[in-house]
Amino acid sequence: MRQIEFFDTSLRDGEQTPGVSFSVKEKVAIAKQLEKWGITVIEAGFPAASPDSFEAVREIAAAMTTTSVTGLARCVLSDIDAAVEAVKDAKKPQIHVFIATSPIHMEYKLKMTPEQVLAQIDKCVRYARERIEVVEFSPEDATRTDRDFLLKAVQTAVDAGATYINIPDTVGYTTPAEYTKIFEFLIANVKSEREIIFSPHCHDDLGMAVANSLAAIKAGAGRVEGTVNGIGERAGNAALEEIAVALHIRKDFYQAESPLKLDETVNTATMISQFSGIAIPKNKAVVGGNAFAHESGIHQDGVLKNAQTYEIITPELVGVKHNSLPLGKLSGRHAFTDKLQELEIAYEEADIVPLFEKFKKLADKKKDITDADIRALVAGDTVKNLEGFIFDSVKIDGHTAVITLKNQEGEIFESTGSGSGSIDAIFKAIDKAFNQEVNLISYSVDAVTDGIDAQATTIISVENLATGTIFNAKGSDYDVLKGGAIAYMNANVLVQKENTNGKQDKISAHDGI
């Protein structure tokens, strides 16, 4: 099996992400984590860019024990001097020299002829190689470079002493099939006595950075460049964690493996996200929050029976403790009962159908169903056992409320009330529906779950004016008004029962609901 070298440029190209700037201390901490992860070479910065860039590369070079450290330099002697000075104390120092070779870059940016560019490559790679043994050369914008000129540029660098040839897709322009041909062409035609190692360096402008990098590996590249979480200039670079996991999962196809300790992947990704301030998208491959979450009923059922039905990557592989089956409107009964068991909620088989229906109604309105939601849903469900009315809906129009109640025969009662505010109007509507003398003693609302769409529990105390008995009742819903209406209706049901069955002792919320 071929071992692919992993070259991480999170601290150089990754820091070119608009808005990202790592402190020297952060860079050293990241480099230590990259070494723990198993990265072969860290491009620690562009030493000529600023004193801090230089200092970070110097400190990282001194701190690494097994990982190679390189610094980027233009084909400018003073840049190479700065890079050499910064990496020279590394146990395994390298230098990375680049110059653009595409017509547009040569003519408009460098204002150099192709011959001048070739002469500069020869001079600068030789200069670097006289100072540091391992030199990498990059013909910038290689994928928009004329193939024959690209071969000349690469051959010039190899003849001048470069060991590594990096073929950057600087503007994310290439495709897997085209990039494959470029690598096959160069590998077949570059002449050297020494072993030359080729690498892809891909940007994600067309969303193909990882696919292009993998295509290059398949075509014979022995090293791959990229960043953690794919951070980098514009749309970013190829995400190294995705490449490493793709090699691992599709060993059968790539016949190549990464040196990474994959169970350090999530730790590394989290650190980069925290220090860069760039959040990891939930749906990102390998390290996104949803990478091991199964939402829909058919998937959840499959995963409960055998995780491999819908999981090609085990969460443990990349350092995640376990997968998750978040409950939502697309969940099925298997996942719902699994959650009741996980939360150790006792239930009768007969409860499952009505509880599940209630859960589905809640899930239609609330995106993230949390454990607390499930507990509140099950606790509040006892209202169905009460005789009399079941709350159906509430509509508010200004200070007027229209409530709908259903009795056990399925008959619908609508009642309207007006008040000084929404709650007052709802309670007046319920008073009318029950037509009994009730005095509201206290009313309080508590958020019982997280988020702006959290469920709230309303706790109500009322006095039955006919008997003087105090009743407590509660109601839970994601809609505070509806929760209040349910609580007040529950209290009224208790009052109605007493008026029908004779005087009761004071009834607490738990007794009542």
Ligand X SMILES: CC(C)C(=O)C(=O)O
Ligand Y SMILES: CC(=O)SCCNC(=O)CCNC(=O)[C@H](O)C(C)(C)COP(=O)(O)OP(=O)(O)OC[C@H]1O[C@@H](n2cnc3c(N)ncnc32)[C@H](O)[C@@H]1OP(=O)(O)O
213 near ligand X, rule: CB under 6 A: no
- Binder of residue 179, out of ligand X, ligand Y, none (CB less than 5 to 8 A by kind): none
Q: Which one, 79 or 140, has the nearer CB to ligand X?
A: 140
Residue by residue, DSSP assigns 465-488 as TTT--EEEEEEEESSHHHHHHHHH
Q: What tokens does 87 get?
A: 């990496």
| Smallest distance, ligand Y to C-beta of residue 224, A | 17
- Closest residue to ligand X in the complex (CB): 168
DSSP states along 303-339: HHH-GGGT-SS-GGGGT-S--B--B-TT--HHHHHHH
SS3 492: helix
- The footprint of ligand X on residues 172-211 (CB under 6 A) is 201, 203
Q: Are 392 and 405 contacting, i.e. CB atoms less than 8 angstroms apart?
A: yes
- List residues binding ligand Y (CB under 6 A): 13, 16, 46, 48-49, 74-76, 98-99, 109-110, 140, 170, 233
Instruction: Decide which of ligand Y, ligand X, none touches 110; Cβ closer than 5 to 8 Å per partner kind.
Output: ligand Y
Q: Are 25 and 56 in contact (CB under 8 A)?
A: no
The minimum distance between CB 98 and ligand Y, in angstroms, equals 5
* Candidate list 10, 17, 33, 138; residue touching ligand X; CB under 6 A: 138
Rounded Cα–Cα distance for residues 120 and 99 (Å)? 8
Q: Is 15 in the site for ligand X (CB under 6 A)?
A: no
Using CB under 6 A as the binding criterion, the count of chain residues that bind ligand X stands at 10
Q: Taking contact as CB under 6 A, which single stretch among the options 164-172, 253-261, 290-298, 502-510 is the one that binds ligand X?
A: 164-172
Query: Can residue 168 be called a binding residue for ligand X (CB under 6 A)?
Result: yes
Instruction: Examine residue 98 and tell whether it contacts ligand X (CB under 6 A).
Output: yes
Candidate segments 25-33, 105-113, 162-170, 498-506, binder of ligand X by CB under 6 A: 162-170
The per-residue b/e assignment along 257-288, b for 16 or more CB within 10 angstroms, e otherwise, is ebebebebbbbbbbbbbebbebebeeebebbe
What's the min distance (Å) between Cβ of 50 and ligand Y?
6
Amino acid making up residue 370: T
Name the residue nearer to ligand X (CB basis): 43 or 477. Answer: 43
For residue 389, state whether it binds ligand X (rule: CB under 6 A).
no
Binding positions for Mn(2+) are 13, 201, 203, 237
Q: Which of 168, 188, 147, 211 is nearest to 72 (CA)?
A: 168
For residue 485, the one-letter residue type is A
- Return the number of the residue (57 or 495) whose C-beta is nearest ligand X: 57
List all residues 6 or more positions away from 132 whose beta carbon is below 8 Å from its beta carbon: 84, 87, 88, 93, 94, 95
Q: Which one of the spans 163-171, 311-319, 321-329, 382-390 is the region binding ligand X (CB under 6 A)?
A: 163-171
Q: Which of 10, 143, 163, 170 binds ligand X (CB under 6 A)?
A: 170
Contact 279, 333 (CB under 8 A): no
Contact of residue 138 among ligand X, ligand Y, none (CB under 5-8 Å per partner type) = ligand X
Binding-site positions: 13, 201, 203, 237
Instruction: State how far the Cα of 22 lies from the Cα of 73, in Å rounded to an integer.
Output: 19
Q: Scanning residues 267 to 286, which ones bind ligand X (CB under 6 A)?
A: none
Cβ-based nearer residue to ligand X, 40 or 455:
40
* Residue 76, binding choice from ligand X, ligand Y, none, Cβ under 5 to 8 Å by partner class: ligand Y
Under the binding rule (CB under 6 A), the answer on residue 331 touching ligand X is no
Q: Which is nearer to ligand Y, 111 or 322 (CB)?
A: 111
Q: Which partner, ligand Y, ligand X, none, binds residue 492 by CB below 5 to 8 Å per kind? A: none
From CA 357, how far away is CA 341, in angstroms rounded?
A: 18
- HSE-up (13 A, CA, CB side) for residue 353: 1
Q: Does 236 bind ligand X (CB under 6 A)?
A: no
Q: CA torsion 200→165→46→213, rounded to 10°? A: 0
Contacts of 288 (CB under 8 A, 6+ apart): 280, 281, 282
Contacting positions for ligand X (CB under 6 A): 13, 72, 98, 138, 140, 166, 168, 170, 201, 203
